[in-house]
Amino acid sequence: MDTKWKRSRAALGFLAFFCGITLVLHGALFLVSGLADASARQYAADSFQADWHNTQQVRDMLSRRLRNLIRIAAGEVQLNQFFSSWGSRRTGADLLEGWTQDKNILFFAQQGAQTAYRNSDELAPAQDEPTAPEGYGLVLSFDGESTRVWLNGRELDVYGTGYYDFEGTGQWLVPGYRNYPAEDGTKDVRVVLALIDRPQMFALDGTIRESAPYQVWQGLQRLRAEYLRSLAWLAIGAALLAGYVLLRKDKARADRLLARGTGKVWFEVKIAVLLLLAAALLSRMGPLGWYASTWPAETPADSFYPDLEAEVYYTNTNDWGEVTAIYGSGLPAERIFGTAEYTAALGLRDALVELAGYPGWISALFWAVYLLLVNDWRYNKRPWRRSICSALIARDLKLPVQRRLNQAAQIAVLGAAVPLCLLLYMVFVWNENWGYEPVTWCLFGFSAVFALLPVLFAQRLRRLWEDLGAVSAQAAAIRAGGLGQELALAERSDLRPLADDLNHVQQGLRQAVEDRTRSERMKVELVTNVSHDLKTPLTSILSYAELLEREGLEPPAGEYVRILGEKARRLSAMVQDVFEVSKAASGQLPVKLERLDYARLLRQTLADMDGNIAASGLALRASIPEEPVFITADSDRLYRVFQNLLGNALKYSLAGSRVYLTLTAEGGMACAVLRNTSADELRPGADYTARFVRGDASRTDGGSGLGLSIAGSFARACGGDLTVTTDADLFTAKVSFPLAGEG
Amino acid sequence: MGEKAPAILVVDDDRAIVGAIAAALEQEGYRVLRAYDGMQALDLALDPELRLILMDVMMPRLDGLSAVLRIRERRNLPIIVLSAKTEESDKVLGLSMGADDYVAKPFGLPELLARVRSQLRRYTSLGDVNAASGAIVSGRLAFDPASRTLTADGEPVKLTPTELGIVEFLMNNLGRTYPAEEIYRRVWGEEAFASENTVMVHIRRIREKIELDPKRPEYLKVVWGIGYKMEKK
């Protein structure tokens, strides 16, 4: 109930606003157009005259009828002559016939004693006031020199100062002024006219006709009704606006509701509606108005009215070819609506007054502006976002990039073709009148719009290659390991999907790297913890084994203890090896790189292991250059590499065989090669640098199986490489390092 | 050593290790105090007879390094840290916390005993004598240029003339690395030929005399690929 009331109040508020504004607009516009200039004010005043005989329209109508009758009576007009009126051709006789049948104006016209045209026997010329039948209050009489007018038996002052003022009002345009005297040919013409008090319609050839007096009488009544109606509209509108002010909060709700509706309308449609309405209104004035108003420029070639009206280009005539009084007899052409001169002379004020004559269009434009611009922009955020263009772009973005660009290129080519065609047409089919044709300018505007398309495409291309640069820079950054910064392209960029995919790849990579780093760290932690946990009991075992050894136990117990101690020490070494190899494998081995002499390192190592070599019974053949071979490495780690390699060679070589150690520096690389003949058969294809791989798979002898693995890890950690090859029983280990420069 | 036998505090949460170390130390004639966590160690460290502490790092209640820090506030006696952590950084951390030596687990008893002896000798008999007489000191080692004698933990070391020449040269240039040819030329006084092996043989012999663990030298070091040096400590 409550919401229903609220809703009706909103509707009421808006309705009051709408009706109030519309009514006030209509009333005000009518008054503006009705009171803008002197003649309009005259009409307005006339429409409120108690006696319609006192109006300018009646004066003009009767003056014209009098002038025409004077000419006909004087024989200046051939009655069988044709004249055109509104496309129909009539003769003067036809016209006279109509006048004769129309008893709203009684007339009598004669020249001398010969010709007499009359439509009533009751009307006759007299020296003073002619006799007129009852019901005909206004009587005109022309005596060949001047005209006299009686209204209800009282004579009116026709000539005033004696001069006709073309700008003035309230005058009779009849011969007899000093600046408009009667012509010589009409000296013996007598014309009497009488106007009925209450005009009637009459029938001619069985059809009902509206006679000129009837039209004027009705027009005045209608005009008065219209003025009264506009005043009523203004009053009602003001009252409604007062009601709106009371309900303005509820009306705002209605505004929001309307805005929700207009928000769904495409922006281009709104603009088109507004432009069409504005164009429709503007077509009533200005250059478009000129074009629209050239149509009635029909000149009566054989003018039936060779008097003052002959100067007037355009005259509005009624069915009878009679010039109705509405449009300015005697007025300069630029004051007469519809003439080119009129439009040319139209100032802004007059143009606005002119526009005020179209209150329907104006209020339509007003409401369109209110709904589609004012209200829409007040309640809808960025209303231009919902447009055909953005809908097209959204549809466009769903296509693959190559198709999208292909379409855009086609449209651009099409767009370039239109102005080009126009140009060619103008070059080959040039017409000098083109500059004056509005169609030409329309065409120019049209092709200018098309010429925009290639420009837009060029812009799009530019953005495309800028984005392409950004994307490839991003790809390069990812390749270089930069996983932090994501690529943000504009939402409408053609490469947006590509950038999004790249960001996804980057995210995946980052995740993978993080996972790997975490798992490596966990692995090292695990090995560290395990080796720590192994070391504690090992310490006890070692210590007690040594304590037992000191006891000097009797054999075989002493022998057992010795073996226990020896194995415990080996186990201890192995634990240390495992720890180191796992650290090296996870890349967490700290290295201290320095420039050192590879040859000296090998000589020192050989000297250091001199005792072991001698004890092994093997012959070591070393070929190491005397001059220094500089490399960059961690000296302690590299020593461990060769300690392990030599240890391996000494341990696993065939008894009495020779071990070869050579160092060469060639092609920027320093290569130390250690070759020995294995005592056991080597398994071809085995990777000896892998962890826990040994020549003998059964693993019953001394080594931990980590020696080569540690050597390889250390060599790589120092920036070198260890490769192991086997050829039959020949075991070859090659440790290579890039040469460091002199100095 | 009799009734004035020096007392040594052994701290480790592994009772078996404490037992083994204690047994070895008692065989050597030391009196041994046993503690199984840092708090116990703090209590026993107040014993006036105490001459040296062997301290494990990872222990419940109070870890070894914290215990070392707190003991250092009260007492100035040698502390050897025992640890299963063998990283260089762990070693540096232990020494910077106030430990005098650092032994990595698993260790051999002979090595541990040698370090204990070394620390005790320095603590009990080493004064500022060497420094006052202009001797070159590096850790346990002291070389008197005037008398051309080398002492390790205050004990004179017997060296052959060649060995003495090498030691004199390297002690005079502590911390600097020399290639074998240079050492040969300086010591032997003639141009070198196949000097690497000759020098290395002497180096090994000197290590036997001055290093606690000749296989893992702390003073006379080989810088592989460059030469030899006497570590400056």
DSSP A313-370: S---B-TTSPBPTTS-TT--GGGSTTSHHHHHT--HHHHHHHHHT-HHHHHHHHHHII
Rounded mean pLDDT of A695-716? 68
A639 at the B interface (CB within 8 A)?
Answer: yes
Instruction: Output the pLDDT for position B54.
Output: 92
Print the SS3 string covering A269-283. HHHHHHHHHHHHHHC
Quick: pLDDT tens for A447-478.
888 888 888 889 888 988 898 998 888 888 88
Quick: pLDDT tens for B111-168.
889 889 888 887 766 554 545 567 888 888 888 888 888 888 878 888 898 888 999 9
In this prediction, residue A583 has a pLDDT band, given cuts at 50, 70 and 90, of confident
Question: What are the E-state strand segments in A531-643?
Answer: 594-597, 619-623, 630-633
Instruction: Look at residues A468, A465, A460, A457 and name the one whose alpha carbon lies nearest to residue A499.
Output: A468
Instruction: Output the pLDDT for position A287.
Output: 45
Task: Using an 8 Å CB-CB cutoff, list chain B residues near A633.
Answer: 225
Of A543, A569, A607, the CB nearest to B17: A543
Q: Which range has the worst mean pLDDT, A210-219, A471-480, A692-701?
A: A692-701
Q: Which range has the worst mean pLDDT, A394-398, A697-701, B44-48, B192-196?
A: A697-701
Instruction: Verify whether the Cβ–Cβ distance A635 to B224 is below 8 Å.
Output: yes
Question: Which residues face B136 on adjacent strands?
Answer: B143
Instruction: Output the pLDDT for position A305.
Output: 36
Instruction: Output the pLDDT for position A395.
Output: 79
Shortest Cα distance, chain B CAs vs residue A611, angstroms = 10
Nearest residue in chain B measured CA to CA from A550: B24
Nearest residue in chain B measured CA to CA from A573: B106
Shortest Cα distance, chain A CAs vs residue B24, angstroms = 7
Of B14, B23, B107, the CB nearest to A547: B23
Instruction: Verify whether the Cβ–Cβ distance B222 to A543 is below 8 Å.
Output: no
In this prediction, residue A341 has a pLDDT band, given cuts at 50, 70 and 90, of low
Instruction: Verify whether the Cβ–Cβ distance A547 to B14 is below 8 Å.
Output: no
Rounded mean pLDDT of B173-182? 88
Chain B contact probe: residue of A534, A597, A604, A627 with most B CBs at under 10 A: A604
Instruction: Look at residues A604, A634, A541, A710 and name the one whose alpha carbon lies nearest to residue B88.
Output: A634
Q: What percent of chain B has pLDDT over 90?
A: 7
Task: Using an 8 Å CB-CB cutoff, list chain B residues near A603.
Answer: 196
In the stretch 6-35 of chain B, residues with CB closer than 8 A to chain A read 14, 16-17, 20-21, 23-24, 27
Amino acid sitting at position A418? V
Which tokens hold the place of A389?
A: 């263009």
Fold designation for B132-230 = Arc Repressor Mutant, subunit A (1.10.10)
Nearest residue in chain B measured CA to CA from A610: B197
Q: What percent of chain A has pLDDT over 70?
A: 83
Rounded mean pLDDT of B60-86? 85
In this prediction, residue A321 has a pLDDT band, given cuts at 50, 70 and 90, of very low
In this prediction, residue A290 has a pLDDT band, given cuts at 50, 70 and 90, of very low
Which tokens hold the place of B209?
A: 């005399």
Chain A contact probe: residue of B12, B25, B87, B224 with most A CBs at under 10 A: B224
In this prediction, residue A323 has a pLDDT band, given cuts at 50, 70 and 90, of very low
Task: Using an 8 Å CB-CB cutoff, list chain B residues near A600.
Answer: 179-180, 196, 225-227
Question: Which residues face A108 on adjacent strands?
Answer: A118, A192
d(CA B202, CA B179): 14
Which tokens hold the place of A183?
A: 């012509």
Query: Could you report the predicted ipTM of this complex, rounded to two decimals?
Result: 0.79
Task: Collapse the DSSP code of A61 into the 3-class scheme (helix H, G, I; strand E, B; otherwise coil) and give the result.
Answer: helix
Q: Output DSSP code: residue A55.
A: S
Instruction: Output the pLDDT for position A345.
Output: 59
Nearest residue in chain A measured CA to CA from B179: A600
d(CA A340, CA A313): 10
Rounded mean pLDDT of A568-575? 84
pLDDT of A554 above 90 = no
3-state helix, strand, coil in chain B (%, to 5): 45, 20, 35
Q: What is the mean pLDDT of chain B?
A: 84
Instruction: Output the pLDDT for position A240.
Output: 92
Nearest residue in chain B measured CA to CA from A589: B87
pLDDT of A337 above 60 = no
Q: Output DSSP code: residue B22.
A: H
CA angle A408, A411, A417 (to 5 degrees): 145
Q: What is the mean pLDDT of chain A?
A: 79
Cβ pair A313, A293 in contact under 8 A: no
In terms of residues, how long is chain B? 233
Name the residue ranges covered by the structural domains of chain B.
7-130, 132-230
> How would you label B91-107 residue by residue, b for 16+ Cβ within 10 Å and e otherwise?
bebbeebbbbbbbbbbb
Q: DSSP for A458-509, please give it.
A: HHHHHHHHHHHHHHHHHHHHHHTT--SPPP---TT-TTHHHHHHHHHHHHHH
**Choice between A121 and A242, residue whose per-residue pLDDT is larger:** A242
Shortest Cα distance, chain B CAs vs residue A700, angstroms = 24
Cβ pair B39, B53 in contact under 8 A: no
**Choice between A309 and A43, residue whose per-residue pLDDT is larger:** A43
Amino acid sitting at position B55? M
Amino acid sitting at position A4? K
Shortest Cα distance, chain A CAs vs residue B5, angstroms = 21
Query: Which residues have CB under 8 Å from B152's CB, separation 6+?
Result: B118, B140, B141, B209, B210
A610 at the B interface (CB within 8 A)?
Answer: yes
Query: Which residues have CB under 8 Å from A166's CB, separation 6+?
Result: A330, A331, A332
pLDDT of A237 above 90 = yes
- Decide which of 3.30.450.20, 3.40.50.2300, 3.40.190.10, 3.40.50.1820 is the CATH code for B7-130: 3.40.50.2300
Instruction: Verify whether the Cβ–Cβ distance A607 to B197 is below 8 Å.
Output: yes
Of A532, A569, A607, the CB nearest to B84: A532
Instruction: Verify whether the Cβ–Cβ distance A540 to B84 is below 8 Å.
Output: no
A536 at the B interface (CB within 8 A)?
Answer: yes
Token pair 């369109």: residue: A368
B187 at the A interface (CB within 8 A)?
Answer: no
The H or E element spanning position A677 is strand A669-677
Instruction: Output the pLDDT for position A389.
Output: 81
The H or E element spanning position B8 is strand B7-11
Rounded mean pLDDT of B185-207? 84
Q: How many CB pairs under 8 A join A and B?
A: 101
Rounded mean pLDDT of A699-727? 77
Chain B contact probe: residue of A525, A532, A543, A550 with most B CBs at under 10 A: A543
In this prediction, residue A703 has a pLDDT band, given cuts at 50, 70 and 90, of low
Instruction: Verify whether the Cβ–Cβ distance B222 to A639 is below 8 Å.
Output: yes
Instruction: Verify whether the Cβ–Cβ distance B17 to A633 is below 8 Å.
Output: no
Token pair 């004890």: residue: A615
B47 at the A interface (CB within 8 A)?
Answer: no
Q: Which range has the worst mean pLDDT, A197-201, A429-433, B7-11?
A: A429-433
Q: Which range has the worst mean pLDDT, A88-97, A198-207, A532-541, B179-188?
A: A88-97
Task: Collapse the DSSP code of A679 into the 3-class scheme (helix H, G, I; strand E, B; otherwise coil) and give the result.
Answer: coil
Radius of gyration of chain A (CA): 58
Shortest Cα distance, chain B CAs vs residue A608, angstroms = 7
Instruction: Verify whether the Cβ–Cβ distance B86 to A579 is below 8 Å.
Output: yes
Token pair 């005297």: residue: A181
Instruction: Output the pLDDT for position A692.
Output: 56
Instruction: Output the pLDDT for position A628.
Output: 87
The H or E element spanning position A726 is strand A721-727
pLDDT of A293 above 80 = no
Instruction: Output the pLDDT for position A348.
Output: 63
Instruction: Output the pLDDT for position A344.
Output: 59
pLDDT of A69 above 70 = yes
Query: For residue B125, what are the CA distances in angstroms to A152, B54, B111?
Result: 160, 20, 21
Asked whether the domain spanning B132-230 has the same topology as the one spanning B7-130, the reply is no
Instruction: Output the pLDDT for position B217.
Output: 87
Q: DSSP for A391-407, please give it.
A: HHHHHHHTS-HHHHHHH
Query: For residue A533, what are the CA distances in angstroms to A357, A529, B14, B31, B66?
Result: 104, 6, 12, 29, 21
In this prediction, residue A238 has a pLDDT band, given cuts at 50, 70 and 90, of very high
Task: Using an 8 Å CB-CB cutoff, list chain B residues near A535.
Answer: 84, 105-106
Backbone φ and ψ of A20, nearest 5°: -60, -50
Instruction: Verify whether the Cβ–Cβ distance A539 to B197 is below 8 Å.
Output: no
Task: Using an 8 Å CB-CB cutoff, list chain A residues near B88.
Answer: 590
Query: Which residues have CB under 8 Å from A83's CB, separation 6+?
Result: A89, A90, A91, A92, A300, A302, A303, A304, A321
d(CA B57, CA B84): 8
Task: Using an 8 Å CB-CB cutoff, list chain B residues near A547.
Answer: 20, 23-24, 109
Of B17, B86, B225, the CB nearest to A596: B225
**Choice between A114 and A404, residue whose per-residue pLDDT is larger:** A404
Nearest residue in chain A measured CA to CA from B106: A539
Task: Using an 8 Å CB-CB cutoff, list chain A residues near B201.
Answer: 607, 610
Of B16, B200, B224, the CB nearest to A636: B224
In this prediction, residue A236 has a pLDDT band, given cuts at 50, 70 and 90, of very high
Of A544, A606, A638, the CB nearest to B20: A544
B193 at the A interface (CB within 8 A)?
Answer: no
In the stretch 574-603 of chain A, residues with CB closer than 8 A to chain B read 575-576, 579, 590, 594, 596-598, 600-601, 603
CA angle B114, B118, B124 (to 5 degrees): 140
Rounded mean pLDDT of B37-47? 87
d(CA A677, CA A657): 7
Nearest residue in chain A measured CA to CA from B222: A604
Chain B contact probe: residue of A527, A534, A540, A638 with most B CBs at under 10 A: A540
B208 at the A interface (CB within 8 A)?
Answer: no
The pTM of the full predicted model, rounded to 2 decimals, is 0.50
Instruction: Verify whether the Cβ–Cβ distance B14 to A590 is below 8 Å.
Output: no
B205 at the A interface (CB within 8 A)?
Answer: no
Cβ pair B17, B34 in contact under 8 A: no
